[in-house]
């Protein structure tokens, strides 16, 4: 089954319809507006709201336009990239239909067509086409057959947003789990260091502990995560996104 991430082929297979298709998200460059208090007057007498004074979180998802480099967030999690000649393809398996909707839309924002198919274990594989656009990402992350972050790897809000959309889930009573690739042991430590550098130091859970993944806990860190990734996509269940 295939789906054009650009939405330009009427015969394409739609994403898995396990729930009503969401309305399109607002343009990525337009931050979500949240009124947190009554209107106040500034020194000049001009009415101001708390929103107008709220600064975007540095490196937050709302602070920059989407780019192909953001897809490093998928590779920090369970995403995979493979090369073929002068091209490369990125793929990731997800455990819920809403994640397909979100990832296809995110890939389309970056000019990448996407396809999906069920894997037979109640999961879905989302992948791009082979394209030269993804070759630099593959060169940076592949060391022979192994995936490993480049030395300069860091996490921004948009990278975290993609990672969370693909493999993030709440962990009651108060935590959030960002899953890793099961066969990507070489990635686990440097990805954890990148999380810590972003103010999101987490606890590494092994496969026998419900992982692999990093568990983020603590009100301050969870608040930081919510600030960095921005508001939930319309396709995401209300309880599946940090707030």
According to DSSP, residue 117 is labeled E
Please give the Cα distance from 153 to 67 (Å, whole number). 15
Q: Is the pLDDT of residue 93 over 50?
A: yes
Domains contained in the chain, CATH given = 68-234 (3.10.28.10)
pLDDT tens digit sequence for 3-12: 433 333 333 4
Look up the pTM and report it.
0.77
pLDDT tens digit sequence for 13-40: 455 544 333 444 444 433 333 333 333 3
pLDDT tens digit sequence for 160-219: 999 999 999 999 888 999 999 999 999 999 999 999 999 999 999 999 999 999 999 999
Provide the 10 A C-beta neighbour count for residue 63: 16
Contacts of 30 (CB under 8 A, 6+ apart): none
pLDDT tens digit sequence for 96-135: 999 999 999 999 999 999 999 999 888 999 999 999 999 9
Q: Are 146 and 138 in contact (CB under 8 A)?
A: no
Supply the pLDDT for residue 243. 85
Contacts of 219 (CB under 8 A, 6+ apart): 174
């Amino acid at each position: 089954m295939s789906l054009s991430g650009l939405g330009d082929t009427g015969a394409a297979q739609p994403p898995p319809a396990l729930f009503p298709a969401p309305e399109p998200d607002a343009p990525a460059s337009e931050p979500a507006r949240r009124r947190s208090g009554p209107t106040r007057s500034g020194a000049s007498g001009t009415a101001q709201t708390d929103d107008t004074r709220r600064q975007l979180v540095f490196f937050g998802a709302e602070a920059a336009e989407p780019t192909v480099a953001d897809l490093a967030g998928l590779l920090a999690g369970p995403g995979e990239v493979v090369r073929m000649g002068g091209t490369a393809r990125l793929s990731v398996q997800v455990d819920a239909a809403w994640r397909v909707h979100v990832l296809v839309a995110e890939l389309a924002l970056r000019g990448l067509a996407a396809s999906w198919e069920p894997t037979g274990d109640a999961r879905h594989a989302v992948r791009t086409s082979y394209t030269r656009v993804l070759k630099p990402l593959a060169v940076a992350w592949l060391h022979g057959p192994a995936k490993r972050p480049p030395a300069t790897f860091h996490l921004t809000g948009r990278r975290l947003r993609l990672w969370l959309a693909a493999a993030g889930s709440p962990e009651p009573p108060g935590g959030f789990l960002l899953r890793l690739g099961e066969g990507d042991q070489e990635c686990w430590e440097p990805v954890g260091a990148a999380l810590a550098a972003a103010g999101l130091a987490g606890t590494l859970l092994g496969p026998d502990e419900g992982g692999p993944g990093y568990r983020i806990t603590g009100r301050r860190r969870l608040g930081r995560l919510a600030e960095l990734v921005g508001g939930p996509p319309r396709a995401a269940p209300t309880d599946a996104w940090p707030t």
